[in-house]
Amino acid sequence: MKTKWFSWLSHPESLLSCLTLVMLGWIYKVDPTFLQWEVQKELSTHIWETALMALPMTLIILTGGIDLSIGSTMSLCAITAGMLHQHGVPLPMGCLAAALVGLAGGWFNGWFITRLKVHPLIITLATMAAFRGIAEGVSQARPLSGFPKSFTWLGQASWLGIPLAGWLFLGCLALCAWIMHGHRLGRYIHAIGYNEVATRYSGIRVNRILLGLYCLSGLSASIAAILFMARRNTAKADIGAGVELGVITAVVMGGVSIFGGRGSLFGVCLGLVLIHETREFVSWHWSRDELNLLALGSLLILSVVFQQLLGHKRSS
C-alpha cells in the first residue's frame, strides 16, 4: 500500500498538479476577484509568447541542452521586421525575413553545438549578447512603430475569448504533444537526453535532430517577436530581455530534468500556469512588480533543488 502512494508521489507532475491546485485555492481565499475570467483574460495577453517559446525549449532541455539566446533572437527578429518595414518593404515580407533570421540564429547555435562540440550554455550565452548587440547597433536603440492596422489587428483579435496568439500556442502544443507521444522523434529526444552515446550507437542521427531543435527554437523566437509587435505596435532592441529566464523556469518547474531525458509537456504547461499566476498575483495583490523577480528567481532555485533532492541523476 505504502509503495503505491510513494510511486505516485515521485512523479513531479503529480506533485506539480497538487501544488497548482493548492496555490489556486489559496489565491481564491485571499482574493477571489483575481480568478475571474475577465481579469485572467486581461492579464494573459502576454503569456502566449513565453508559452510558445517554452515548447522548443522543453525539447531542447529534454536533450540535455539549453538555449539562453531566445530573448535576443526575439529582439533581432523584431528589429529586422521593423527596419524592413521602415524602408518600405511590405510587412508580410518583413515577417518572413524575421522568421528566416530566427531560423538562421537557431542554426548558428546548433552548428556550434553539433559541429564544434561547444557546450550549449556557452554558445547561447555568446549569441545572447551578439544577437541583441546586432539589434541594438542596427536600430540604434530607437523604437520602431507605425505598423499597419491589418497587422496590429492580429494582436487584438480573439476568438472565444482567447487571442490569436493563444490559439497559435494551443495548435503548436497539440503538434508537439503528438510529436512527443506519437512520433518517433519523441522517443529519440528522450533517448538523447538520457544517453546520447547509446542513441548514436543505435543509428539515430543525433546531430541532425539537435540542429533542428535549435533552429525551431530560433523560429519560435521570431514568431514570438511578430506576436509582440502585433500586440504592442512597436519594435525595439530591448524586446524579450529576461524572457529566457521565465521560459526556463517554467520548463524546469514543470518537472523536466535539467540533465535531460525526463519530463513531459503536461508538466511544462502546469509550470507555465504556476509561474504566470504567481507573477500576476504578486503584482495584482501587492502591486509591487519587484516581488515578481524575487518570486521567479526563488521558484527556479527551489524547483532545481527539489529535483536534485528527488534524486535526478546526472547521466555521465
Partner 1 sequence: MLGLLKQRAAGLFCFTFLALGLVSLINPAFLAWGNLRDIAVQAAPVCIISCGLMLVLVLGEIDISVGSMMGVLAASMGAMVSATRWGLSPWIAVILTMILGTLMGALNGWLIAYLRVPSIMVTLGMLTALRGVTEVIMGGTWITDLPPGIRYLGTGSWMGLPICLWVCAGVIVLSTWLIHRTPLGRRIFAIGSQPRAAHLAGLPIQRVKFLVFAWTGFLTALATLVSVPQLSVVDSGIGVGMELLVVTCVVVGGTSVNGGTGHLSGVVFAVLLMTMISTLLIFMKLGENATYWSRAIQGLFILGAILLDHLVRSKKSS
Partner 2 sequence: MSAVWQWGSLSRVRTPKPTMSALQAKQISRSYGGTRALSEVSIELLPGSIHALCGENGAGKSTLIKILSGVETPDSGEVTLNGQPIPLGRVHAVEQIGIVAVHQEPVVFPHLNTVDNLFVGREQSKVGGLWLNKKGMREQACQIMHSLGETFSLDIPVGQLSLAQRQMVSMGRALLQECRILILDEPTASLSARESKSLFATMDRLQQQGVGILYVSHRLEEVFQLAQQVTILRDGQCAGTQPTSSLSRSELIRMMVGRPVENPSRQQKKTKSKSDKPILKIRGMRRDPVFQDIHLEIHAGEILGLSGLVGAGRSEIARAIFGLDPVDEGEIWFEGRCLPEGFTIQDTMAMGMAMVPEDRQREGLVLPASVEDNLTLPSLIELSGWMGMHRKPRHEASRSLIEQMGIKTASRASSAQSLSGGNQQKIVLGKWVYRQPRLFILDEPTRGVDVGAKEEVHRMIEQLAAGGSAILLISSDMPEILRLSDRILTLCQGRIKGEIASHEATQEILLQWALPEERDALS
Interacting residues with partner 1 (CB under 8 A): 66, 112, 116-119, 121-123, 125-134, 136-137, 139-141, 242, 245, 248-249, 252, 258-259, 288-301, 304-305, 308-309
Residue with cell 533532492: 309
The piece of 107-115, 144-152, 176-184, 295-303 that touches partner 2 (CB under 8 A) is: 176-184
Q: Which of residues 253-282 bind partner 2 (CB under 8 A)?
A: 261-262
Judged by beta carbon, residue 185 or residue 241, the one nearer partner 1 is 241
* Sequence-distant (≥ 6) Cβ neighbours of residue 51 within 8 angstroms: 169, 173, 272
Shorter beta-carbon distance to partner 2: residue 74 or 211: 211
Member of 183, 242, 293, 301 binding partner 2 (CB under 8 A): 183
Selection from partner 1, partner 2, none that 184 binds (CB < 5 to 8 A by kind) is: partner 2
Element housing 97 (H / E): helix 91-114
Grid cell listed for 12 = 513531479
Residue 288 binds partner 2, judged by CB under 8 A: no
316 is a contact residue toward partner 2 (CB under 8 A): yes
Nearer to partner 1, 163 or 263 (CB): 263
Q: Please, what is the end-to-end C-alpha distance for the chain in angstroms?
A: 34
Contact between 132 and partner 2 by CB under 8 A: the answer reads: no
311 binds partner 2 (CB under 8 A): no
Q: How far apart are CA 52 and CA 116, in angstroms?
A: 29
Q: How far is the CB of 299 from partner 1 (least distance, A)?
A: 8
Cα gap 267→96, rounded to integer Å = 32
Select the binding partner of residue 2 from partner 1, partner 2, none (C-beta < 5 to 8 A, by kind). Answer: none
Whether the Cβ atoms of residue 101 and residue 77 lie closer than 8 Å to each other = yes
- Which range of residues in 31-39, 49-57, 201-209, 283-291 is near partner 2 by CB under 8 A? 201-209
Query: Between residues 223 and 265, which has the closer beta carbon with respect to partner 2?
Result: 265
**Contact call for residue 197 and partner 2 (CB under 8 A):** yes
Distance of CA 143 to the CA centre of its chain: 24
List b or e across 115-145, with b for residues whose CB sees 16 or more CB atoms inside 10 angstroms.
Answer: eeeeebeebbebbbebbbebbbeebeeeebe
Question: What amino acid is encoded at 197 in this protein?
Answer: V
The verdict on 314 binding partner 2 (CB under 8 A) reads no
Residues 25 and 19: their CA atoms lie apart, in Å, by 10
Q: Which is nearer to partner 1, 165 or 299 (CB)?
A: 299
**32 makes contact with partner 2 (CB under 8 A):** no
State which residue, 75 or 264, has the beta carbon closest to partner 2. Answer: 264
Q: Which does 116 bind (CB under 5 to 8 A by kind): partner 2, partner 1, none?
A: partner 1
Looking from the CA of 192 toward its CB, the CA atoms found within 13 Å total 24
Under the criterion CB under 8 A, does residue 176 sit at the interface with partner 2?
no
Report helix, strand or coil for 4: helix
For residues 14 and 8, the answer to whether their CB atoms sit within 8 Å is: yes
140 versus 316: smaller Cβ distance to partner 2: 316
Name the phi and psi angles at 311, rounded to 5.
90, 35
Angle subtended by helix axes 47-62 and 164-182, to nearest 10 = 20
SS3 144: strand
Q: Cβ distance 250 to 271 under 8 Å? A: yes
Per CB under 8 A, residues contacting partner 2 are: 178, 182-184, 187-188, 190-191, 194-195, 197-205, 261-262, 316
